[in-house]
Amino acid sequence: MLKEVRRGIGEYSENILNGINTSGRYSNEELVDSINTAQRVVHQIVSRRLPDVFYSTSSITGVGSVFTLPWDYGSIREFRDEDGYHIHPVTQRGIRRPDQTGSDKRYYRKGNTFVVNKAGITDTFVLHYTTKPRELDQGMASAGGALALTLATLISKNKDDYYNSMEIENSTQDWVDSVSDYVGSTRICTLSAETGAANDMYGFISELPEPFHFLLPQWVIATTKGTDISNWSSMLAETLRTFAGNSQDIPPEELWCQYSAPYNINPISDLLGN
């Protein structure tokens, strides 16, 4: 992806791509940051239109009624207690005072936590949520070995397990593998099958659905060169329409009820062949 960006902005050579030559106007780090910005833009649009693509669940346990959100939490879908009952959000005005009992069926957001509006809750609740995208990294490995690759020293360390299950591509050795474990303090990725080595060029593969991957370098090229992004927007809209399905993919509720079917066919007549 970084190679495609550099070619698109007219700053490509193997030495520049590998970080040996730093004479380019834009550093690799700047361009990777822009790729991550593009990923966030596309993720926000796709998640609004098709939130189920990024749907996840997590069991989280309260500590004094405070429930820490998962590191990949993006937005709330549902919050349910140990019996499966829906926990509803409460506004600031509804937060209990110290002299009040409060309700264990209400919660409010506080930083990276949900706080149940009743003291002493230590049960395990289930959070249904939409994930946020993990930051991509591309660069030259600082070390490697059997089932191991140490990421470039310039990247932020991130938390342990941050890259777990992500796919990583090694363009030097021409393999793609998945990360089974990541240690933030050492930047070491444990690979599932392959062998890494120092100076290998690697890049993480975006967790966006594959049809949207081509849009990321195109966004960076357009914004870096200061060109109009209307063509990019058209490509995004067409990709979203194609990925979302076509007019023949009819949900059952539309087939029988036609509440507000956005299709240019009559589902019942089509089914009966009339």
pTM, entire model: 0.81
Q: What phi and psi values does residue 42 have, to the nearest 5 degrees?
A: -65, -40
In whole angstroms, what is the distance from residue 35 CA to residue 43 CA? 12
Bridging pattern class, strands 175-183 and 113-118: unpaired
CA 74 to chain centre: 9
In whole angstroms, what is the distance from residue 33 CA to residue 124 CA? 37
Task: State the residue for tokens 């209990």.
Answer: 96
What residues contact residue 129 under an 8 Å CB cut-off, 6+ apart? 55, 56, 57, 58, 69, 70, 73, 74, 75, 76, 77
The confidence score (pLDDT) of residue 268 equals: 38
Cβ–Cβ under 8 Å, residues 87 and 81: yes
The confidence score (pLDDT) of residue 98 equals: 85
In terms of Cβ atoms closer than 10 Å to its own Cβ (0-12, 13-18, 19+), residue 28 is: buried
What residues contact residue 132 under an 8 Å CB cut-off, 6+ apart? 43, 72, 73, 74
Cβ–Cβ under 8 Å, residues 136 and 29: no
The confidence score (pLDDT) of residue 251 equals: 63
∠ CA 56-60-66, nearest 5°, is 130
Q: What phi and psi values does residue 28 have, to the nearest 5 degrees?
A: -60, -35
Question: Tell me: the pLDDT tens digits for 192-213?
Answer: 999 999 999 999 999 999 999 9
The confidence score (pLDDT) of residue 253 equals: 60
The confidence score (pLDDT) of residue 57 equals: 97
The tokens describing 5, both together, are 């960006």
In whole angstroms, what is the distance from residue 165 CA to residue 178 CA? 6
∠ CA 262-265-266, nearest 5°, is 105
Give, in order, the Cα–Cα distances in Å from 79 to each of 40, 114, 176, 268. Answer: 24, 9, 36, 37
SS3 (DSSP) at 253: helix
Cβ–Cβ under 8 Å, residues 36 and 136: yes
Give, in order, the Cα–Cα distances in Å from 183 to each of 153, 176, 180, 191. Answer: 13, 20, 11, 12
Secondary structure letter of residue 84 according to DSSP: S
Query: What parts of the chain have a pLDDT lower than 50?
Result: 259-274
Give the orientation angle of helix 230-244 with respect to helix 215-225, to 10 degrees: 170
